[in-house]
Amino acid sequence: MEYFTGILPYLIIILILVIGIIILSTIMITTNKIKKADSALDEEIFRKEINIVNEKIIELNEHYEFIKSELDNKQKELLFLYQMISLKEEQLTGKDEEIKEEVCEDKINEFNENVLRLYKEGYNVEEIAKKLGRGKGEVGLAVKIYC
């Protein structure tokens, strides 16, 4: 038994070393598995994120196409409205000139009638010009033409 008593401390030390080695190897194996799991998990997360980004890109592309088609439609509408405005403007410009001519003729006729009336009533050119607020030459010309 004495033999075992001298070896016992060595056996305990060897047993502790073996247990330590087993624990260390278990820790290393577990750590390696965790790293692989983390790596696989990171890779899976990365793939999911790439899929999400790809889906967003596809959605943005579809939205771009929609906006582009809407802008094209609005541009066509604006061109159509511009053409309609141009046509109306041309129509109104022609009518505008006709209306101006009629107004001028009416004013000339009214002026000439007033000149004739006042001249027949016995007013001279200067008096008629003062009453109508026109120049003597204008009134004199109207008298020469219409009287």
Confidence category of residue 104, pLDDT binned at 50, 70, 90: very low
- Tell me: the pLDDT tens digits for 30-82? 888 777 777 777 788 888 888 888 898 888 889 889 888 888 888 988 888 88
Residue appearing with tokens 């001279």: 124
d(CA 131, CA 110): 14
Residue 113 tokens, joined: 């009638």
d(CA 126, CA 131): 9
Shortest CA distance to 112 belongs to which of 97, 99, 128, 123?
128
For residues 50 and 11, which has the higher predicted lDDT (pLDDT)?
Answer: 50
- Tell me: the pLDDT tens digits for 112-145? 888 888 888 999 999 988 988 988 888 888 888 8
Residue 31 tokens, joined: 């750590």
